[in-house]
C-alpha cells in the first residue's frame, strides 16, 4: 500500500457522486482597507457519505473554507454547490461544529443541543429523545441539566457535536473540534466520531491541524499550503475500517503521515534544525 500523492493542479474527483462541489472558490478579506488573500482558488468535491479531512498550517484559510461551504460568508470568486443548489446564504441542512464550542452559557446541556430545533421552529418534544440518546451515545448522560460552565472542555465539545447532529443533517462541517482537548480525550473523541460516522455515513468535512487525526478518520485527506491557502495534495486513505488506535503505528499509516509531513516540510514548515 503506498501513500498516493496527487500533484497540485491535477483534478480532484470524488469516487462517489458529489454532494458538495467547491468550484474555484476564492476568498479575499479587506481588514482595515488592506487586501488579504486568504484562499487562492480551491476546487474539490465531497462525495455522498464521504469523510474528507483538511489539514493545513495555522492561518492557511481552513476556517474560511468551512464558513464559505456553510454559506456564512460570501466567496470572492467561484461557487459552492450543495446537492445542486448554489450556496448564496447560510445553508441550513447542515451540522456545524465550530473551532470554539460556541455553547450558550445560559442554556443547559439539553437546551444547547435543542437550540438547533428551536431556531428551526421544529417540535421540541419530538427531538428531545434524540437529543438525550445522542448525549448518552457520547457519554454525557446525567448531565442534561448542567450548564456549559459546569463541564470540562471535552464534555463541552461532545455537547457541541450532539447539537450539530440532533436534526440529522446529511452534511457535517467540523472545524478543529478537538483542538483544545488533552491527548487522551482527543483519542476518545476521534473514536466516538468514527463510530457515529460508521453508523450514519454522513458527508463530513473535517478540519484539523493534526496529521494523524486527519488520516485516521478520512477517506481522503486534502493538504493545504500556507496562506493564501490552496490544495497542495490529496491522499486517498486506503485503510480498513473501523480503524483502531494501534493502526497509527502501522507502516501503512506511517507512510501516509510521512507524505503529509513531507508536504509541510516542502513549504518550509516543521524545520528540524
Of 4, 41, 43, 63, the one binding ligand ATP by CB under 6 A? 63
**What binding mask, one character per residue, do residues 156-195 give for ligand ATP by CB under 6 A, x or -?**
----------------------------------------
The one of Mg ion, ligand ATP, none whose footprint includes residue 143, by CB under 5 to 8 A per kind, is none
For 1, 128, 164, 171, the CA distances from 194, given in Å and listed in that order, are 22, 24, 15, 15
Distance CA(237)–CA(46), nearest Å, equals 14
Using CB under 6 A as the binding rule, whether residue 74 contacts ligand ATP is answered as no
Q: Which is nearer to Mg ion, 64 or 253 (CB)?
A: 64
Q: Is the peptide bond before 242 cis (omega within 30 degrees of 0)?
A: yes
Q: Residue for cell digits 470524488?
A: 14
Distance of CA 197 to the CA centre of its chain: 12
Using CB under 5 A as the binding rule, whether residue 63 contacts Mg ion is answered as yes
Q: Is the peptide bond before 172 cis (omega within 30 degrees of 0)?
A: no
The one of Mg ion, ligand ATP, none whose footprint includes residue 177, by CB under 5 to 8 A per kind, is none
Of 132, 227, 243, 263, the one binding ligand ATP by CB under 6 A? 227
Cβ 239 vs Cβ 195: under 8 Å: no
- Given the rule CB under 6 A, which residues bind ligand ATP? 29, 31, 36, 38, 56, 58-64, 99, 209, 227
Amino acid at each position: 500500500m503506498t501513500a498516493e500523492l496527487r500533484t497540485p493542479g491535477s483534478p480532484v474527483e470524488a469516487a462517489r457522486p458529489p454532494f458538495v462541489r467547491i468550484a474555484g472558490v476564492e476568498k479575499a478579506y479587506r481588514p482595515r482597507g488592506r487586501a488579504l488573500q486568504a484562499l487562492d482558488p480551491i476546487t474539490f468535491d465531497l462525495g455522498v457519505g464521504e469523510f474528507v479531512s483538511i489539514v493545513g498550517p495555522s492561518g492557511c484559510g481552513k476556517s474560511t473554507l468551512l464558513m464559505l461551504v456553510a454559506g456564512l460568508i460570501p466567496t470572492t470568486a467561484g461557487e459552492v454547490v450543495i446537492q445542486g443548489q448554489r450556496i448564496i446564504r447560510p445553508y441550513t441542512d447542515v451540522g456545524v461544529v465550530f473551532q470554539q464550542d460556541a455553547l450558550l452559557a445560559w442554556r443547559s446541556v439539553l437546551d444547547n443541543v435543542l437550540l438547533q430545533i428551536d431556531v428551526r421552529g421544529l417540535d421540541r418534544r419530538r427531538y428531545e429523545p434524540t437529543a438525550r440518546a445522542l448525549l448518552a451515545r457520547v457519554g454525557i448522560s446525567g448531565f442534561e441539566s448542567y450548564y456549559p460552565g459546569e463541564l470540562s472542555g471535552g464534555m463541552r465539545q461532545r455537547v457541541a457535536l450532539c447539537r450539530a447532529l440532533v436534526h440529522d443533517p446529511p452534511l457535517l462541517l467540523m472545524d478543529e473540534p478537538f483542538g483544545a482537548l488533552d491527548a487522551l480525550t482527543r483519542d476518545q473523541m476521534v473514536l466516538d466520531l468514527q463510530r457515529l460516522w460508521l453508523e450514519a455515513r454522513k458527508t463530513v468535512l473535517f478540519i484539523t491541524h493534526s496529521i494523524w487525526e486527519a488520516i485516521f478518520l478520512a477517506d481522503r485527506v486534502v493538504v493545504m499550503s500556507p496562506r493564501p491557502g490552496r490544495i497542495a495534495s490529496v491522499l486517498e486513505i486506503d485503510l480498513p475500517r473501523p480503524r483502531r488506535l494501534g493502526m497509527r503505528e502501522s507502516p501503512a499509516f506511517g507512510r501516509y503521515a510521512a507524505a503529509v509531513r513531507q508536504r509541510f516540510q516542502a513549504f518550509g514548515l516543521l524545520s528540524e534544525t
